[in-house]
Structures are given as structure tokens and as C-alpha cells.
Chain A
């Protein structure tokens, strides 16, 4: 049980894992279910339990398509995709794989690149 880790994931994602009522709607609706070792409802439960290592070591977190079908359908407003996104971010940070700094942004800006992609990149890779 790693409470610090759990709190950090919850804070980063803004998602409410404690609201989960274990209905399995997220996993029922997931279009990439078959590719995952751990499934959306398990992500949520593992974060709630503070089950850090297994989840962060699993390639499943990169199988999530971030299609947000689970967020759309969850009857309790848990937002599983946001939880998974936060775990991914945590893994990237721990690897020290911050590829982008705010100063790098103007150079990276390309006319064809959507503005949202830049913001996402900053959020994902910067500290």
C-alpha cells in the first residue's frame, strides 16, 4: 500500500478512484481491452489500493488509447482514462524522460502542429 503514490496519482489526474462501485462498465466499453494485461477497472482498483509497482511495470498502461469511452460511460464519474494517463506520466517522470522544457517550445513549434499538441507535450514531458 503506497499512499503517497496514490495521493499523487489522484492529484495529478483529478479523478476520483474512491467513487468506483466496481460495476465494470469501463472494461465493458474499452475497445482495446484484449491488448491489456490489466484492464481499466483494474487500473482504478490498483491505484485505490496503492498497488504501485505491478501497475507501473505493466505495458498495459501504454495500451490505453485515451479514447475516453470509459470516462464517457462511467456511471460514477471515476474517469479511468485520466487515472491511466497520470500513471503513464509518473512512469515517464521516474525514467527522467522529460523531453521538453518550456524554453524548447518556440523552436518545436511548427506551423502545421496543432496548438493543443504542444500543450499536451509540455504537460507530458516537462516537470
Chain B
């Protein structure tokens, strides 16, 4: 006969105001096997825990039921207390009489009755509990950072600084990401390149960091502490180990009309190119879509001028396999395509541009060497209209439902810088709300309006119509004046919404990391675990988790690194013993469990079995890797033969709970 203890928590008035806790303790005390049943105002407090510990020792309890808040809250607290008193921590069950009872009910009598029933279910379950011991697995002390923008760079630098090796995988030929394309950064207006490129160089020089540029992660297997990644190193047709980045090939290449993606197609590059002057690694790449030699075997000029013999037209993709303990997603964002909003005439006029294009037009390394010129005729624009929230804050049919967060501030920056450089320019900003929470952010926006004379107009732009004289007729509403305006603009700048990189969804599938409906990675807890994915060993850095500006990205990137360092500094990881296991004699090898497992924890083995007639038969049976299994139970439901079961949540335990509730 097992001996159980029941402990009913008041949670101050959280539970006690709606549930008669004394009556619950009394009723549960009459259940068979229960030898002690009591209540206490705060069971999670030190004295509450001591009450439990003393009872375990005094009555030599075999199991404990705690009627309190959600197990998410304090299951660990009570398990630890039980372990300190010598009871296996998995012999503790929680009956959630707060979130699932007192908080959602008003009638005291009914709530009390329900609390008793929930307690009975927990008692029925704990009677079938078995002591469990968590297993251990080793940790590979190396991190993988996917994405080499400012988020990935900061995370990698911090991890490397703590002494752990890090690989940065970047799909473009250089690290730097979006920040490398920016001109100045708000609210202090430091030049983006001046603060970013030293960090890029730090990455290149740090002996713990390996930059795998122009590479993509193709496959990830394994589990926390023990991941294996296959990384495709795409052919760049230039030997990275030989190229010195002198740029001679890029000057001699005869193919001159390749749209330059770094300048968003606003000027041209050669078929062999280095994305920008401060690229890291500073290694050329040949674009096979444009190179004459690669397309039809005629040219070879670059290989003739290369003094170190780095050009290799025969280079092919290679696949690198590497082991990691932790993986960081830092895949960043892209601005959305704005041509779907026909009213802004983006597809019709060259002088309607996005904010990122505006950045390039004002950047000294951009297509106009930093002089603000209209893309259509190369003249100075004298009236500029900035339009906010293009594709942000919409219904899902119209665009993105969220606020892109960075647009208010960079538009204030653009407007301010334009007025400073070209005081004869009229600058209008059409806004719905100006959102500037952040240190020195609102002051920055007010400066644009007050000191720089930027015209902020509360209202929206209805349509932009290109006129015969090359200007743009902007029809808009001014909600404060209650007027419809027409502005004759030379340049219209659209603050396009940002969305997660298109590569993120594929990566999330590979990592079995969850995403929200907008394809942003989901955090383990929105407030308390913001830089971890719910999938153990996967961490989140930067905009891949949600829109954020550079200061916030860098803070989050460092927080993410701290979590990674915490993991990598452990020698062994304690697993969760509540994992699935299969009864090999019952398993019929159907693979249902493997196909529903979201973590890839189930594999199939051909195993020899000694049959009742003494013959040996090879059968295909499921095998669960306990280190990968997260104990979600999907397989136990999918298994048609009842072979799959979960330690700590066995089918018989769950049925016993249901029976206790229905009694």
C-alpha cells in the first residue's frame, strides 16, 4: 500500500478566495492511500516547502500531490523539495487548481467541487508514477551562427570572446547584412560603416571565429549539445585561400552591365565582383549567370590578370559537415515588395523609391557617391514626400499585420539629413502615428520637426500620379486640417514593411524550431525566455524573432550569446526523463510515430527477435532517442498498436486520471 501526502495551497487569496481549501484538504484526506492532507497559505514559500519535506520524512511518503498553480510555475520547485527529502522528484504530481479552477470560476461551491476532482485525478495518477532518473548527454563546445548581419556578428563575437569556437554561415559573399547598406544610424547619426566594419574585421581576425561566407546550411540533425550540420559552400569560382581582394579582376572584367544588388540595382557591377570595399572576407566572386567564360567558355580575362592564380572556373559546390552544441538563428529581414501597392506608382516611376534605396542614394559608397539625385534624371529633388507604414499595420490580405518598428525613426533620420544637406528642399512625412519609444528617440523625431522644419502631416497618401513634366502628383489627406492635399513632388520615398528572410521558414523546418504566422521565429517565452526557441539548443538573435532596430538587435544578440555560452560551458546536459519509449514486441513497424514526431527523435531499427517457436525473426521496430525526445506525446497518440508510451505520462496514468474525474 502506497502512502501519499496531499498539500493544498491557498496562493494568498488567488485560490482561497474561490476554493474552500480546507474542504479540499479534508475531502482528499479521505481518499485511499492518502495518509496526510493539509493546506497552507503559500506552499511555494520556504516554510511551505519545509512542510512538504517534513511530511515526506515523517510519514515515509511514496508520492506527493500538490494542489496549487500551474506546473509550469512551480513543478520544479516542488520536485526539488521532494528530492531534498529523499523522494524521487518524479513522484510529485501537481493538481492545477489556480489557472484551471479558481481563476476561471466564480461560484465557490462549484469551484471547490472541481478542485477536489482535480486533486483526485492527480492522486490516481501519482499512484501509477514510477521513479525516473534523468539521463545525461555530452556537449559539443562549438556554436553555429546562421546569418552574418549585425545580429549574427555580435552573437558570434560574444561567444568567441568567452573562448568557444563559432562558425558564422552567411549566404551572401560577405558578412555585414543590411546594416552594411545603411548610411547613418539613428538616433546618434554615426555612420553605419564606421561602427560595423570594425566588428566585421574583428570577426575575421578572431581565432575562435570561422566565417563561412557564400554558404548555406542544408541539413541539421541531432539535438541540444549534439547537432550535426551539413553546410553547402557554394562555388564562387575564386579560391578563397588565394584571393587577396586586390580587385584587379573586377576592373578588367568586360561584362559591365550586371545590376548591382548591393546598391539595389541602382547601378551596375562586373560579372566578377567584390560586393563592397569593406567586404569580409574580401574575396571576389564570379557570377555564373553573367560570366562569359562560365557561360560559353570565351574570355578568361580575370584569370589572366590575377597575379595569385585565384580564379578557378572549375570550382564546384562542396558540402562541409560539422558538429555543434548550439545553433543560433540570425537570418534577419528583407523589405517587402512594394509594387503590389499600385497607388504609389512604384513600378511606373523611377522616382518612387523605397527607404533602403534612399539609404543607398545618400551613402557615400552608393551609386551617386552620396549626392541625393533623382534616379530618373539625375537632378536634385526639391520636394520629397516620405510615406510611412507601406504594407505595415494592415489586414493580412493587404500586407503585414504588425508594426515594422524601425520606419518612424529612419524616416525622421532621412528627413533630417536631407534638410541638413539640402536646406532648399521641402520635406513632407505622411504618418498614421509616429512611434518613437526608445532612448533619445522621441527627442530625435522632435528635432526633425522643430529644428529641421520637416513637415509632418497626420494622414495618408491616396495615390501618386506621375505627370508629364516628370514630377509626381501626390494626393493625400491631412486629417488635422480635414483637407485633401496635392503635393507636386520630385521624389517619393516608401517606408516598406519588413518581413523575415525567405530562408527562415526552410531553416525553421530544419531546426524543428517553431514560427508564428508571419514567419518570425517564436521564442520559448515572450517575456521570460526571449532569446531561446522552444526547441532546446536553438537560440534567436535579431530580426528573425521580430522587428527591431540596431540597438535592440545588438542587446538581443549579446543576450543570445550569454545563453549559448551558458549551454556550452556545461560538460554534460541533464535530459528530461519523461520521454517516449516503445514496446518492441508490440511495435508493428508502421512508421506512424516517426512521421508525426516534430523533433526527429524516432528512428527504425531492424532487430532480431527470438520468437515463441524458438526461431529468430528480424523485425522493424521503432527506437526513440531519449536525448532528442521532448516528451510531447504525439507518437503515443499516433501509434495504432499501443506500443508507444511516455514515461511519466503513460496511457494508463492518463486513463486513471480520466476515470478519477468521471467517477
Q: A-side interface residues toward B, CB under 8 Å? A: 21-25, 27-30, 33-34, 39, 41-42, 69, 73-77
CB distance from B339 to the nearest CB of A (A): 15
| Chain B stretch 386-409: residues in CB contact (< 8 A) with chain A | 389, 393-395, 397-399
Neighbouring B residues of A21 by C-beta, 8 Å: 393, 432
**Contacts A33-B484, A34-B484, A73-B343; is A28 near B477 (CB within 8 Å)?**
yes
What residues of chain A lie closer than 8 Å to B462, measured between beta carbons?
25, 27-30, 69, 73
**Docked-complex contact A75 and B484, CB < 8 angstroms:** no
Q: Is B482 an interface residue (CB 8 A)?
A: yes
Q: Is B476 an interface residue (CB 8 A)?
A: yes
Residues from chain A with Cβ under 8 Å of B343 in the complex: 29, 73
Q: Which residues of A contact B546 (CB under 8 A)?
A: none
Interface size band for B: 20 to 34
- Decide if B63 is an interface residue (CB 8 Å cutoff): no
Q: Is B82 among interface residues, defined by CB-CB distance under 8 A?
A: no
Q: Contact between B463 and A27 (Cβ–Cβ < 8 Å)? A: no
- 29 A-B pairs with CB atoms under 8 Å apart are A21-B393, A21-B432, A23-B459, A24-B432, A24-B460, A24-B478, A27-B462, A27-B477, A28-B459, A28-B460, A28-B462, A28-B463, A28-B475, A28-B477, A29-B343, A29-B462, A33-B477, A33-B484, A39-B484, A69-B462, A73-B343, A75-B398, A75-B399, A76-B394, A76-B395, A76-B398, A77-B395, A77-B397, A77-B398
Closest 5 CB pairs of A and B: A28-B462, A29-B462, A28-B477, A24-B477, A25-B460
Q: Which residue of B lies closest to A34 (CB)?
A: B484
Counting CB contacts under 8 A, is B458 at the interface?
yes
Residue of A nearest to B390 (CB): A75
CA distance A74 to B343 in the complex (A): 12
Q: Is the CB of B475 within 8 A of A75?
A: no
Contact assessment for B432 and A23 in the assembled complex, using a CB-CB cutoff below 8 Å:
yes
Distance (whole angstroms) from the CB of B402 to the closest CB of chain A: 12
Whether the pair B479, A22 counts as a contact (CB closer than 8 A) is yes
B19 contacts A by Cβ under 8 Å: no
Cβ B479 vs Cβ A41 within 8 A:
yes
Contact with A along B454-491 (1 / 0, CB 8 A): 00001111110000000000011111001010000000
Q: How far is the CA of A104 from the CA of B580 in the complex (A)?
A: 72
Residues B432 and A28 in contact, CB atoms below 8 Å apart: no
B404 to chain A, nearest CB (A): 13
With the chains together, A41 CA to B395 CA distance in Å?
Answer: 18
Q: A28-B476, A39-B482, A41-B477 are in contact. Are A23 and B389 (CB under 8 A)?
A: yes
Min CB distance B457 to A, Å, is 9
In the complex, A22→B478 CA distance in Å? 11
**What is the CA–CA distance of A33 and B483 in the complex, to the nearest angstrom?**
9
Q: Which residues of B contact A75 (CB under 8 A)?
A: 389, 393-395, 398-399
The CA-CA distance from A69 to B342 in the complex, in Å, is 12
CB contact between B463 and one of A23, A29, A34, A74 (< 8 Å): that residue:
A29
Bound-state CA distance A42–B393 (Å) is 20
B residues in contact with A74, CB < 8 Å: 398
A108 to B331, CA, bound (A): 64
Query: In whole angstroms, what is the CA distance A67 to B649 when docked?
Result: 61
Contact B484 A27 (CB under 8 A): yes
Are B432 and A22 within 8 A (Cβ)? yes
B475's nearest neighbour on chain A, judged by CB, is A28
Give the CA-CA distance A34 to B459 in the complex, in Å.
16
Please give, as numbers and ranges, the residues of chain A lying within 8 Å of B393 by CB-CB distance.
21, 75-76
Q: Output the least CB separation between B453 and chain A (Å).
A: 23
B399 / chain A contacts, CB cutoff of 8 Å: 75
Residue of A nearest to B388 (CB): A23
Q: Which chain B residues lie closer than 8 Å to A41 at the CB level?
A: 477, 479
Please, which residues of chain B bring their CB within 8 A of the CB of A24? 432, 458-460, 476-479
**Closest CB in chain A relative to B465 CB, distance in Å:** 12
Given A30-B484, A33-B477: 18 more A-B contacts, CB < 8 Å: A22-B479, A23-B432, A24-B478, A27-B459, A27-B477, A28-B475, A29-B462, A29-B475, A30-B462, A33-B484, A34-B484, A39-B482, A42-B482, A69-B462, A74-B398, A75-B394, A75-B399, A77-B395
Q: Closest B residue to A76 by CB, please name it.
A: B395
Tell me if A28 and B461 are in contact (CB < 8 A): yes
Within B370-394, the residues touching A (CB, 8 Å) are 389, 393-394
A27 touches B397 (CB 8 A): no
The residue from B394, B395, B398, B479 contacting A27, defined by CB atoms under 8 A apart: B479
Give every chain B residue within 8 A of A25 (Cβ-Cβ): 460, 462, 477
Cα-based distance from A108 to B632 in the complex (angstroms)? 67
Smallest CB separation, B335 vs chain A (Å): 17
Residues of B within 8 A of A69 (CB): 462
**Using Cβ atoms and an 8 Å threshold, which residues of chain B touch A34?**
484
Taking the closest CB of chain A, its distance from the CB of B251, in whole angstroms, is 47
Q: In the complex, what's the smallest C-beta–C-beta distance from B393 to chain A, in angstroms?
A: 6
In angstroms, Cα B477 to Cα A42, docked, is 12
The complex places the Cα of A69 from the Cα of B460 at a distance, in Å, of 14
What's the Cα separation between A22 and B459 when bound, in Å? 8
Interchain CA distance A35-B559 in the complex, whole Å:
57
- Using Cβ atoms and an 8 Å threshold, which residues of chain A touch B477? 24-25, 27-28, 33, 39, 41
The answer for the CA separation of A76 and B10 in the assembled complex, in Å, is 46
Name the residue in B458, B475, B479 with the highest tally of chain A Cβ atoms < 10 Å from its Cβ: B479
A123–B462 Cα gap in the complex (Å)?
Answer: 31
Q: Whole-angstrom distance from the CB of B461 to the nearest CB of chain A? A: 6
Q: How far is the CB of A65 from chain B (nearest CB, A)?
A: 14
Q: What is the CB-to-nearest-CB distance from B605 to chain A, in angstroms, rounded to a whole number? A: 54
In the complex, A41→B480 CA distance in Å?
A: 12
Nearest-CB distance from B385 to chain A (Å)? Answer: 12
In whole angstroms, what is the CA distance A73 to B343 when docked? 8
Expressed in whole angstroms, the Cα–Cα distance for A21 and B398 within the complex equals 14
Complex CA gap A73/B398 in Å reads: 8
In this complex, what residue of A is CB-closest to B480?
A: A24
Nearest-neighbour CB distance to chain A for B652, whole angstroms, equals 50
Q: Give complex CA distance A7, B343 in Å.
A: 32
> Given the complex, which residues of B lie within 8 Å of A77, measured CB to CB?
395, 397-398
| A interface footprint on B554-570 (CB within 8 Å = 1, 0 otherwise) | 00000000000000000
B contact residues around A28 at 8 Å (CB): 459-463, 475-477, 484
In the assembled complex, the Cα of A25 lies from the Cα of B461 at a distance in Å of: 6
